[in-house]
Structure 1
Amino acid sequence: MRKIIESTFITLDGCIGEPHVWGQPYWDDQHNDYNAKLAYDVDAMLLGRATYEGFKDAWTQRAGDPLADRFNALPKYVASRTLTGELEWNARLLEGDAAKAVADLKAQPGETIIKYGTGEFDRALLENKLVDEYHFWTYPVIAGGDGYRLGDGFDVTHLKLIDQTVFDSGIVVGVYAPK
């Protein structure tokens, strides 16, 4: 069975929205190397609609960069209730119930799938115990404001720390598994 890894950027005050605003000062070689390792250890991406649209716009403009080329080449599976038809950027829409579609995807032959972005789609994945590993990138920044917070609307969920990486920039990536 395939494994799903979720990779999420988060501030010290729990904000996950708009990492392009608060995260960029910390995007250095260590950050890029860790992200590249994740990208090269998987054979597909799993995305919600908003992340798919944002990533497509950002990564397709960076063609020629080895990491961007990897992101652009990977097959993508997109959960959405609003997108229809054929998708761009080597992507396919997950049909029907998202949790069932992801469970079916995990049962197919293949390697690890990486999921980027955190939002409503995660509730279905969490409730159905479909994520095998979480990489929470905690940035040394307080975003403030009323942004979307990690875990908004979720039930209490216990995880166990299985690894951590500390970057010189102050980012700490905690790797967690379901308990």
Structure 2
Amino acid sequence: MSSIVVQEFITLDGVIQAGGGPDEDREGGFELGGWSIAYDEEHDPSGEIGDSLVKEWESRTEGLLLGRKTYEIWAGAWGVWDENADGVMGELTRRYNRVPKYVASRTLTEVGWKNTQLLGPDVPEAVRKLRAEPGGEIRVWGSADLIATLAEHDLVDEYRLMVYPLVLGTGKKLFRDGFPRTRLALVENRALSSGVVVNVYRRATD
């Protein structure tokens, strides 16, 4: 059986939008893109997050599950970047190109990034089938709308949240109004030297 793992850079007020760059996602007039990168450059020069934590987590990724907007961002980045780049950049590019990618979209009719397929109209049922197959971790990044759908159908096994000590006051939130009621158990908690706190939650079993 595979597991669906949501992994997010998130602010104290729950925002997950466009942490990676100013033009990553300006939907809704969002102008604060790149907040996680800017914070890491100032407070994490040793690469504790990207070169250590994310690298270790992503070594277990056996598939990517993405919403349409996140897929388009990733296909235009990891899908075209140099696999022979030095360090973690090259390692992640090679992995993301190799693993299967599953995209939830009501508008896309084709996908160009290799090893990518559309899930079709019944996303919850398609994900149930993926989750029932033997395998490892199927990773979800970004994709707030998709995550809400998965949570509604109890299809998220784990949330890995890197909580930044920032309050943006605007932007797309992971646990937004209307998010389904969910009981989780904290299985890991650690504070990094940068001030980022890592919280890992799994579905509560009792």
TM over 0.5: yes
1:25-104 alignment, distance < 5 Å? 25=38, 26=40, 28=44, 29-32=47-50, 33-63=52-82, 64=84, 65-104=90-129
The DSSP-based 3-state class of the residue aligned with 1:156 is coil
What SS is found at the alignment partner of 1:114? strand
RMSD: 1.7
Q: 1:99-114 maps to which residues of 2 (within 5 A)?
A: 99-114=124-139
Q: CA deviation at 1:143?
A: 1.6
Indicate the structure whose relative CO is greater, using CA pairs within 8 Å and at least 6 residues apart.
1
1:133 equivalent to 2:152? Answer no
Give aligned pairs, total.
178
1:159-178 to 2 correspondence within 5 Å? 159-178=184-203
CA distance change for structure 1 residues 60 and 85 in 2, over 3 Å: closer, same or farther? closer
Identity %: 38
Moved >4 Å (runs of 4+):
none
Give the aligned residue type for 1:31: I
Letter in 2 for 1:133: E
The one-letter code matched in structure 1 to 2:48 is Q
Query: In the alignment, which residue of structure 1 is the partner of 2:30?
Result: none
| CA deviation profile, 1:120-161 (whole Å, cap 9, x unmatched) | 1112211111111110111122222x3112211313322110
1:77: Cα distance to partner? Answer: 0.7
Find the counterpart in structure 1 of residue 173 from structure 2: 149
Could you say what secondary structure the match of 1:137 adopts? strand
Counterpart of 1:120, as a letter, is: D
* Equivalent-residue separation in structure 2 for 1:68 and 1:170 (angstroms): 27
Q: Which structure has the larger Rg? A: 2
Partner SS state of residue 143, structure 1: coil
Contact 2:63–2:99 (CA<8 Å) still a contact in 1? yes
Is 1:15–1:149's contact at 8 Å kept on the other side of the alignment? Answer: yes
Q: Distance in 1 between matches of 2:197 and 2:113?
A: 33
State the 1:24 CA deviation. 0.2
Aligned counterpart, 1:11: 11
Unaligned 5+ runs, structure 2? 21-33, 85-89
Q: Distance in 1 between matches of 2:193 and 2:102?
A: 33
C-alpha offsets along residues 60-98 of structure 1, whole Å, 9 cap, x if unaligned? 343222222222222111111111134324211112210
Partners of 1:101 and 1:42 lie apart in 2 by 19
Q: Is the 8 A contact 1:16 1:118 kept in 2?
A: no
Residue deviations 1:5-45 (CA, integer Å, cap 9, x gap): 11011111211111121000316521122111121112111
Instruction: Report if the CA contact (8 A) 2:60-2:137 is conserved.
Output: yes
**Corresponding residue for residue 142 of structure 2:** 117
Could you tell me which runs of 5 or more consecutive residues in structure 1 were left unpaired when the two chains were aligned. Answer: none
